């Protein structure tokens, strides 16, 4: 490490006085103008991580579904997964260190994590379409070069594409080619193979309207269009040429407001979907003949995929363990349908993709989705090897054909992280193969009416939870109060949890009617306000 170079470059990326940030599930996120020192230092950290694990590390500059003025940065570990939790601590320490402590903090990280600075370090960089992203990724490069690291800058990519590249690189190409062409070819080839077997192929074109949140998804989908079969016609809306990123559009807007995005003209019974700003989330929706809006969220996507995979697994007759992983936000009726009708085990974990991903790794086939539309399917190495072997060697036609469909699903799914493009193709293939309309898919079960609220508090840390965030431990008396309120309504449940990013407490309630769900959510928010140090005026109904 060259202390002089570190001092010189660090002075070019000064830390604003008094600013402290925390590396959370989504990495660092804040106003773009406050991030320059952070991204420079994450360039440093990425090189240290790369040298520590002797593998390529990814750095993605994005703030996903946040407003355009914000930006953020997150690191990607060798197999395309989230950064290891012990390194999240190092990221926070490094980002918040005062200028004169920087070298000391780096030395401490090297000692704790046994980093050999003489080893090579390689970092892959990607960024979204925000106006601030290009300059910030230049600052990342400054950090990488100071510690003698090498880099490859992919420029504009979706977040899941960068995760994919990192995984391809570190599996020596076993997962695929670490190029955009490689990504498009692998996914489109698997998709074509699946679509070929659908009964409707050739007869009619399948139209899909896609709201790309005025983000990177539009650019990458346009690049991928030539790879699609003629039967599939995609119509891209909110492509970023006119409006601001995530403004009144995108998966998060549609899910939270339960209404269609601006800039997309919906006719009755047309299939539509929305990506979020960095294309790692997707939700579907349609309007019925009466003009009523229907949202198909992550829970229903997980259910569709589970039905399809369960049928195939039954046909290959192997003893594979399959499960669905959800969070407390999953609609109660989705959990009931999966457990009681489909008879698939369901596990509930804390909110945050890393918790879902980690749990899903325990099964041969682990389906995980958050209600917000972020999710994927993981296949164990053993299951994948067995399925590929059946395709080659199985004499029984039915078993071999089912294994072939599973093999194409494995190739179509981005197993590193939730990926809106990949998930969209998986859904489109399943709907085609099963001959399902969007309405039939929606009718699998009816969501219980629900309401999400948030209450501002002086300090979100006063709330402590247990049982995958479904029960409150502190402050005392709050859980008893929630229990008493829930008893007043039919088919009801409610839980509260501190936000991971701001001083608010998030409230979720569901009940037999929308009126009751709203009333329960409001009563719980009042309880939180009074017992957990609410700020400002009490919540209004």
Q: What would the pLDDT profile of 264-320 be if each residue is shown by its tens digit?
A: 999 999 999 999 999 999 999 999 999 999 999 999 999 999 999 999 999 999 999
16 labelled ligand-binding: no
401 labelled ligand-binding: no
276 labelled ligand-binding: yes
372 labelled ligand-binding: yes
Q: Work out the average pLDDT over 81-93.
A: 95
SS3 assignment, position 433: helix
SS3 assignment, position 205: coil
- Phi first, then psi, for residue 141 (nearest 5°) are -60, -40
Length of the chain: 541
431: closest CA among 251, 194, 211, 260?
194
474 labelled ligand-binding: no
Q: Where are the domains of the chain?
A: 3-156, 182-296, 312-416, 450-532
Judge whether 64 counts as a catalytic residue. Answer: yes
pLDDT value of residue 200: 55
Reading the block at residue 286, the tokens are: 């349609």
DSSP 149-204: -EEEEEEE--HHHHHHHHHHHHTTTSS--SSHHHHHHHHHHHHHHHHHTSTTTTTS
CATH 3.40.120 fits 182-296, yes or no: yes
Q: Work out the average pLDDT over 205-230.
A: 94
DSSP 382-412: HHHHHHHHHHHH--SHHHHHHHHHHHHHHHH
Q: Work out the average pLDDT over 346-368.
A: 95
CATH 3.40.120 fits 312-416, yes or no: yes
Q: Which of 10, 64, 137, 306 is catalytic?
A: 64
Tell me: the pLDDT tens digits for 495-515?
A: 999 987 678 899 999 999 999
85: closest CA among 4, 136, 27?
27
Tell me: the pLDDT tens digits for 319-334?
A: 999 999 999 999 999 9
517 labelled ligand-binding: no
Tell me the fold of 3-156. Alpha-D-Glucose-1,6-Bisphosphate; Chain A, domain 3 (3.40.120)
36 labelled ligand-binding: no
Residue 160 CA: distances (Å) to CA of 277, 306, 337, 423: 12, 22, 29, 11
Buried b (16+ CB within 10 A) or exposed e, 68-89: bebbbbbbbbbebbbbbeebbe
Reading the block at residue 284, the tokens are: 């579907």
506 labelled ligand-binding: yes
Residue 288 CA: distances (Å) to CA of 266, 299, 324: 10, 20, 29
Per-residue DSSP letter, 117? T
Query: Given CA atoms 240, 242, 247, 253 in this order, what sign does their dihedral have?
Result: negative
pTM of the predicted model, to two decimals?
A: 0.94
Tell me the fold of 450-532. TATA-Binding Protein (3.30.310)
188 labelled ligand-binding: no
Reading the block at residue 80, the tokens are: 């395309």
Question: What ranges make up the beta strands (E) of 32-149?
Answer: 57-61, 70-76, 122-127
Taking each helix axis from N to C terminus, what angle separates 514-531 and 478-486, rounded to the nearest 10 degrees?
160
Q: Work out the average pLDDT over 402-426.
A: 97
80 labelled ligand-binding: no
Q: Work out the average pLDDT over 201-222.
A: 88
Indicate if 312-416 has the same CATH topology as 3-156: yes
Compute the distance between CA of residue 284 and CA of residue 271 in angstroms, rounded to an integer.
7
Buried b (16+ CB within 10 A) or exposed e, 27-64: bbbbebeebbbbbbbbbbbbbbbbbbbebbbbbbbbbb
Q: Is 178:168 a contact under the CB 8 Å cutoff?
A: yes
Compute the distance between CA of residue 191 and CA of residue 4 in angstroms, rounded to an integer.
53
């Amino acid at each position: 490490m060259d202390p002089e170079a570190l001092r010189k470059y660090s002075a070019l990326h000064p830390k604003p006085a008094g600013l402290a940030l925390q590396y959370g599930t989504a990495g660092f996120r804040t106003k773009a103008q406050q991030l320059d020192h952070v991204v420079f230092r994450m360039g440093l950290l990425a090189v240290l991580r790369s040298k520590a694990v002797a593998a390529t590390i990814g750095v993605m500059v994005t703030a996903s579904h946040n407003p355009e003025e914000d930006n953020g940065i997150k690191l990607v570990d060798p197999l395309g997964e989230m950064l290891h939790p012990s390194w999240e601590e190092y990221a926070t320490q490094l980002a918040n260190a005062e200028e004169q402590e920087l070298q000391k903090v780096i030395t401490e990280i090297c000692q704790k994590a046994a980093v050999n600075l003489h080893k090579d370090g390689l970092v892959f960089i990607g960024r979204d379409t925000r106006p601030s992203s290009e300059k910030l990724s230049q600052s990342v490069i400054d950090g990488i070069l100071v510690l003698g690291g090498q880099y490859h800058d992919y420029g504009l990519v979706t977040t899941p594409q960068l995760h994919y590249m990192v995984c391809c690189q570190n599996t020596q190409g076993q997962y695929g080619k670490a190029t955009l062409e490689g990504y498009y070819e692998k996914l489109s080839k698997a998709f074509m193979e699946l679509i070929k077997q659908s009964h409707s192929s050739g007869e009619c074109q399948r139209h899909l309207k896609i709201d790309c949140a005025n983000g990177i998804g539009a650019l990458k989908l346009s690049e991928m269009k030539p790879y699609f079969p003629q039967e599939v016609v995609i119509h891209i809306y909110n492509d970023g040429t006119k409006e601001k990123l995530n403004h009144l559009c995108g998966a998060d807007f549609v899910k939270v407001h339960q209404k269609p995005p601006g800039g997309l003209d919906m006719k009755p019974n047309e299939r539509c979907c929305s990506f979020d700003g960095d294309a790692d989330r997707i939700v579907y929706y349609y309007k019925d003949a009466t003009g009523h809006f229907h949202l198909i969220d992550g829970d229903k996507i997980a259910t569709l995929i589970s039905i399809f995979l369960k049928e195939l697994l039954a046909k290959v007759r192997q003893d594979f363990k399959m499960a669905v992983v959800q969070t407390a936000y999953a609609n109660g009726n989705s959990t009931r349908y999966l457990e009681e009708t489909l008879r698939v085990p369901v596990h509930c974990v804390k909110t945050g993709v890393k918790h879902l991903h980690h749990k899903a790794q325990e099964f041969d086939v682990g389906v995980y989705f958050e209600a917000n539309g972020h999710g994927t399917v993981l296949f164990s190495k053993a299951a994948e090897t067995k399925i590929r072997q059946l395709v080659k060697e199985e004499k029984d036609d039915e078993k071999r054909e089912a294994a072939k469909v599973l093999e194409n699903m494995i190739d179509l799914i981005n197993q590193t992280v939730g990926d809106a493009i990949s998930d969209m193709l998986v859904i489109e293939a399943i709907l085609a193969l099963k001959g399902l309309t969007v309405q039939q898919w929606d009718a699998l079960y009816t969501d219980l009416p629900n309401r999400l609220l948030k209450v501002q508090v002086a300090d979100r840390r006063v709330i402590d939870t247990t049982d995958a965030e479904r029960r409150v431990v502190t402050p005392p008396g709050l859980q008893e109060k929630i229990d008493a309120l829930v008893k007043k309504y039919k088919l009801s449940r409610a839980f509260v949890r501190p936000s991971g990013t701001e001083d608010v407490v998030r409230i979720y309630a569901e009940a037999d009617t929308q009126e009751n769900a709203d009333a329960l959510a409001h009563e719980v928010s009042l309880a939180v306000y009074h017992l957990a140090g609410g700020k400002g005026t009490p919540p209004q109904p």
